[in-house]
Amino acid sequence: METPNQAYLLRLSPSSRPAMAGALRTMARWIHTDLGALEPVDVGRLRAYAVQAFAPATARRYMAALRGVIRETWRSGAIDAEKRDRLLDFPAVTGRSAPVGRALTVAELRLLRIAARPRDRAILAAMTGAGLRRGEIAHLSYVKNVLSVLGKGNCARIIHLTGQAAADVEACPPPWDLGGGGVWAALKRLARRAGVAPFMPHDLRRTYASLALGAGVDLVTLQRAMGHASPVTTAAYDRRTDAQRGAAERVAGVLDAPEEGG
């Protein structure tokens, strides 16, 4: 019989399971007990530990995993609805950290493409041309310039590739037999060969979002393409320092304008 932890993880997309499984293991170590046998005081302690240990976004992810296990414990019949509600009655984690990561420049992307072997060039094209998460690379199907992606929450989406990205993927189409860790290792090797400053796989997703917004793609369309539940999440991927600087300059132009008749 499945434990509440296992039942919760099975409800997630394959790309989401490793991070959430790690969160559950960490929380179990914090309180030295099975998460299916929690009391409200334990939940309060777990929330406090998460807030102290992590940035707000990571703490929210831990609390989302905890909520999932509590609901699965109730579905299994181990607790009643009253106890479920008491366990779920904890404050949301608020706050937001400064943006992490960066968007790669077009010049860096060109250097990476030149240095890449066909498979890595295709992965690079899919991640920058379609905004894929590294965990999604292992769960792709492909038919002539169209990627079918299984994202977080088992949400599927279709992405059309065009231009050089389409040509690079067509030259070496998926499956590429790489999990998330393999993708990261391949990109690290590629960055060293290309002489590009180190970057995280998720920086390619930030690059995709920044390029799309800079090209005039509206936020809602980009949200759907990236598989986000909210455009607020999509907006947080914008790393266009030139756009932010331009906004500041336009505001300064208004503030610094001479008064009429002055």
CA of 21: how far to CAs of 16, 67, 228, in Å?
9, 13, 21
pLDDT band at 228 (very low <50, low <70, confident <90, very high): confident
Pure H helices in 54-153: 56-75, 81-88, 106-115, 118-130
Q: Is 101 helix (H, G, I), strand (E, B) or coil?
A: coil
Q: Assess whether pLDDT exceeds 60 at residue 242.
A: no
pLDDT digits (tens, 9 = 90+) for 6-37: 999 999 888 788 989 999 999 999 988 777 78
pLDDT band at 214 (very low <50, low <70, confident <90, very high): confident
217: left (phi over 0), alpha (psi -120 to 50) or beta: beta
pLDDT band at 261 (very low <50, low <70, confident <90, very high): low
- Hunting for tokens 């790690």 — which residue is that? 22
Q: Assess whether pLDDT exceeds 70 at residue 260.
A: no
Report residue 141: phi and psi, to 5°: -125, 150
Question: What pLDDT, on a 0 to 100 scale, did the predictor assign at position 250?
Answer: 54
User: Distance between CA 200 and CA 103 in Å, rounded?
Assistant: 10
Question: What pLDDT, on a 0 to 100 scale, did the predictor assign at position 100?
Answer: 73
Q: Assess whether pLDDT exceeds 90 at residue 231.
A: no
Kindly state the DSSP code that residue 136 receives in the 8-state scheme: G
User: Distance between CA 210 and CA 53 in Å, rounded?
Assistant: 30
Question: What pLDDT, on a 0 to 100 scale, did the predictor assign at position 229?
Answer: 84
pLDDT digits (tens, 9 = 90+) for 40-79: 999 999 999 999 999 888 999 999 999 999 999 999 999 9
Question: What pLDDT, on a 0 to 100 scale, did the predictor assign at position 256?
Answer: 62
Strand arrangement of the beta sheet that strand 140-143 belongs to: 140-143, 146-150, 156-160
Question: Mean pLDDT score of the chain, rounded to an integer?
Answer: 87
Are the CB atoms for 243 and 249 separated by under 8 Å? no
Question: What pLDDT, on a 0 to 100 scale, did the predictor assign at position 70?
Answer: 95
pLDDT digits (tens, 9 = 90+) for 105-143: 999 999 999 999 999 999 999 999 889 988 888 888 899
pLDDT band at 150 (very low <50, low <70, confident <90, very high): confident
Q: Assess whether pLDDT exceeds 60 at residue 252.
A: no
Structure tokens that stand for 32 in this block: 């030295």
pLDDT digits (tens, 9 = 90+) for 191-209: 999 999 999 999 999 999 9
